[in-house]
Amino acid sequence: MFRKGRPNHNPVNLELFDEPIEWVTEVKYLGLIIDNKITFRHHISYLKEKFWAKIYLCFPLIGRRSGLSLESKLILFKQVLRPILTYAAPVWGLAAPSNREKFKSFKTSFSELLLTLHGSYGTLSSTLISKLNQLMTTFKNFQGSSSLGSLTFK
């Protein structure tokens, strides 16, 4: 069913109400971009673009000179930014290992950005470290929730 290289068969011509259905290499369904090889490469890059666009919109609120406390910034992250990353995570968490590595590097760059925006990159307080640990646990939780139990493909 899933194999690398060229498929050894021609796709069947399908029709719906006497209209031919065009075969495509990827489709966006319920906000999840599914490609024909189930690697989720385009979906992960789409998530990164969407996430960074929201970050730039939130800069006045999460920036170093904003009046918000770290707790308020984390609430903003949990309510606005985290849902972008966690939506359909059990599905795209089964992506190809190389694509999951891209997501891990993204996670690291985001945590560095959070430290820089808070203005305490050189001197870390214990509360900031505990908050960042909670944030990283959140990333690990939804990344580890991608197991489908006893589902097997034959």
Residue 21 lies in a domain: yes
For residue 35, what are the contacts with CB-CB under 8 A and spacing of at least 6? 25, 26, 41, 42, 43
Residue 146 in any domain: the answer is no
Instruction: Identify whether 143 is part of a domain.
Output: no
What percent of the chain clears pLDDT 90, i.e. is strictly above it?
Answer: 4
Structure-block tokens of residue 153: 């493909």
Please indicate, yes or no, if residue 151 is contained in any of the structural domains.
Answer: no
Instruction: State if pTM tops 0.85.
Output: no
In a domain, residue 62? The reply is yes
pLDDT in tens, 77-100: 888 888 887 888 788 777 778 877
Task: Please report the beta strands in the chain, taking only residues with DSSP state E, as ranges in sequence order.
Answer: 14-16, 19-21, 26-29, 32-35
| Domain that includes residue 64, residue range | 17-137
Query: Domain for residue 153, yes or no?
Result: no
User: Is the torsion defined by CA of 71, 75, 80, 86 positive or negative?
Assistant: positive
Q: pLDDT by residue (tens digit) across 35-94? A: 888 888 888 889 889 988 998 898 888 777 888 877 787 788 888 888 887 888 788 777
Q: How many domains does the chain have?
A: 1
In a domain, 50, yes or no: yes
Phi then psi for residue 105, to 5 deg, are -65, -35
